[in-house]
Each structure stands twice: as C-alpha cells, then as structure tokens.
Amino acid sequence: MVIIMKSGASVKEISSVVNRIEEFGMKAHPIYGEERTVIGVVGDERPVDKSLFDTLAGVENTLPILKPYKLASREFRKQDSAVHIFGTNGNSVNVGGSPNIILMAGPCAVESREQILESAHAVKEAGAKALRGGAFKPRTSPYSFQGHGEQGLEWMAEAREKYGLAIVTEVMSPDQVPLVARYADVMQIGARNMQNFALLNAVGESMKPVLLKRGMSATMEELLMAAEYILSHGNYNVMLCERGIRTFEKYTRNTLDINAVPVLKHLSHLPVVVDPSHATGKSEYVLATSRAAVAAGADGLIIEVHPDPSRAMSDGAQTLTPEQFAETVRQCRRIAEAMDRTI
C-alpha cells in the first residue's frame, strides 16, 4: 500500500503515520517529494484495516499496490528515479531521471594495472562516465581466469583517481560486500547471482548503488522482485540491467530483449541500463544493439572495451576496441539527439 500525504503535511504528521505503520509490524519507506510525501508500506498487510490510515492527520488517501513488487513499482513512485553515482574529483552523475544517457565501459576483467589504466583512458576520451571491470569473475569453468580479487580493485581505484571515472565492479558473495563496497562506486550483481537472496540482502544493507543484471532465464517480474529485495532494506540506488536472455537462437550468445526497456520503464521507476556486449556475445553486433537500446529509451549502456580484445582473458569476442567504442558513442549520440537526450 502507498499512503499519500497531503501537500504541506507536517514532519510530525508524517512521523506519526510512520509510527503507526511500525506498530503493525510493517516497514515504512517515505519518499519526500517537492510537492508531497508518499509513504510506501511493505510487510504483511492482512491484519490491517487500511481505512484506519485515511483517518490520520495529514493523510490524503491510501492506495493498494497490486503488483508483487512494491517499492520498485511505478505505483509507488510516479517519477523516474535517479541513481547518483560518485566518481572522483567531485564528478557525480545521475543514471535515470534525466535526459542524459550514461556510458559505462571497460574490460570484462581487470587483467593488469596497465590494461585497466589504458582502458580507462580510452573510455574516458570517448565519453564514458564510469569504468567497468571485474576483479571477481563468475566463470562457467573453475579452470578459467577468476579475476585478480583485491589487487584488481586497487588497480581500478588508481584508474578512478587518475581519470575521475566511477567504478563499476561485480560482487559475487555476501562476504565480499564490505571489501567491494570500499572500492566500488557501483556494485554489480551478475546475471548468475540475480536470485542470490543473501547477496541481494547484503548489498541492500550497504546503501551503495547497485547494477542488478537480469538472470539469463529470469522474467522481468523476477528481476523486479530481485530489485525489491535490495529496496526493502532502504537502498533505493538500484539500476536494472538487461543483458540478454537465453533463447533457442544460437548465432548470438544471448538474445537482447529490447522489449525489456519500455516494459521495465513502464512497470518501474528504476533506471534501465542495457549491456549489448553480453546480449550479443559478438563485437560486430554491439554497435547496432547499442543504437537500438538508446532508441528504446535506455538510461545507460554498459559496454566491454579492451585495448586489444584479441588478447582479452575473458569475453574477447564481444569486446570492442577503443576505436570501435568511440564510433559506437558517436552514433549513439546521434540517436540520443533524435530523442531529445544527450550522451
């Protein structure tokens, strides 16, 4: 349920509504808007007489949220949410809630200090605001390169300082959250972990921005329910990421579900980011699918870029050279312009 407060409701009225919600053993999630405050109520509502809230001072009305996801839904929040990401040098960017489309780019994995610094330089030059790179890699084979761990995070931190880029990096388990949160500006939850509920709870408690990738066989509703776990802890800094789903098609690694962009934006206020690299698995298709994502209304793109993709230790086939990335940005800018957006 959402409780809509009257415009001009006092702090005292708001807090007494919050107290009543808590007395019923439910959780209150107030959003303080410019016009008015709305309070999301989550928990077991069955024993509660909802009309009771309508009688409290300062309450305009109450609305049920019919979807299984509550805080993630458009019913809870009508406006697009912005996730604030802080890089160094006071650079901060908003993903969502703005006409600006944010580019996050970099290698699949952090391989060496030189590789990540070179990647950072290239993606920054081309217009990226965030540097991606995995220090902990979820590999299909236990014999494949698993990432450099904390050393990789340190190299990323150096790139962050040098280029003023925000850092996006994956966290794979709840016990890694404190370490990754010390270095990262955005914690990525990989597709394979989208329903790792212990991990979702742990990043929910950290309050750091989260890029939540859609599981390869997950429905949009399951993605939104996974987001709900994070939001339910009061961490509202969640970005949804469409990275392709598994279908019968074999010419591409996954199938980019372009529908997910308008559908998720319709159902939810959370920003939507598209990953054309994992969606296609082939560098030659990343340009066209990036353009499509921008045209469909994505708030951000996350793209794999490596100084020499032929030598990449993971996902080389889908990784762009710096030149290809610069061209992708150039073309996406033109699409963005046609939609009154900027990159």
CB atoms within 10 A of CB 67: 17
Spell out, one character per residue from 236 to 275, where the chain touches ligand PEP: x when CB under 6 A holds, - when not: -------x--------------------------------
The DSSP output letter for 293 is H
Q: Which of residues 87-146 bind Mn ion (CB under 5 A)?
A: 108
Q: Which of residues 281-340 bind Mn ion (CB under 5 A)?
A: 315
- Region of 11-19, 114-122, 190-198, 283-291 interacting with ligand PEP (CB under 6 A): 190-198
Q: Which two tokens stand for residue 232?
A: 């339910």
CA 177, 182, 186: angle at the middle one, nearest 5?
75
- Region of 30-38, 66-74, 154-162, 187-195 interacting with ligand PEP (CB under 6 A): 187-195
Determine the 3-state secondary structure of 69 from DSSP: coil
Asked if 17 and 48 touch (Cβ cutoff 8 Å), the reply is no
Check residue 138 and give left, alpha or beta (phi > 0: left; psi -120 to 50: alpha).
Answer: beta
Residue 243 site contact among ligand PEP, Mn ion, none (CB < 5 to 8 Å, cut-off depends on kind) = ligand PEP
Q: Which of residues 274-293 bind ligand PEP (CB under 6 A)?
A: 278
With CB under 6 A as the contact rule, the residue among 87, 96, 134, 322 that binds ligand PEP is 134
Q: Is 275 in the site for Mn ion (CB under 5 A)?
A: no
Report the residue closest to ligand PEP, judged by CB. 190
Q: Is 191 in the site for ligand PEP (CB under 6 A)?
A: yes
Q: Is 190 in the site for ligand PEP (CB under 6 A)?
A: yes
Q: Which alpha helices (DSSP H) does 150-245 contain, by range? A: 150-163, 177-183, 197-206, 220-231
Q: Which of residues 66-125 bind ligand PEP (CB under 6 A)?
A: 108
The DSSP secondary structure of 313-335, one letter per residue, reads SS-GGGPBPHHHHHHHHHHHHHH
Residue 94 host element (H or E): strand 92-95
- Contacts to Mn ion by CB under 5 A: 108, 315
- Contacts to ligand PEP by CB under 6 A: 108, 134, 138, 190-192, 213, 243, 278
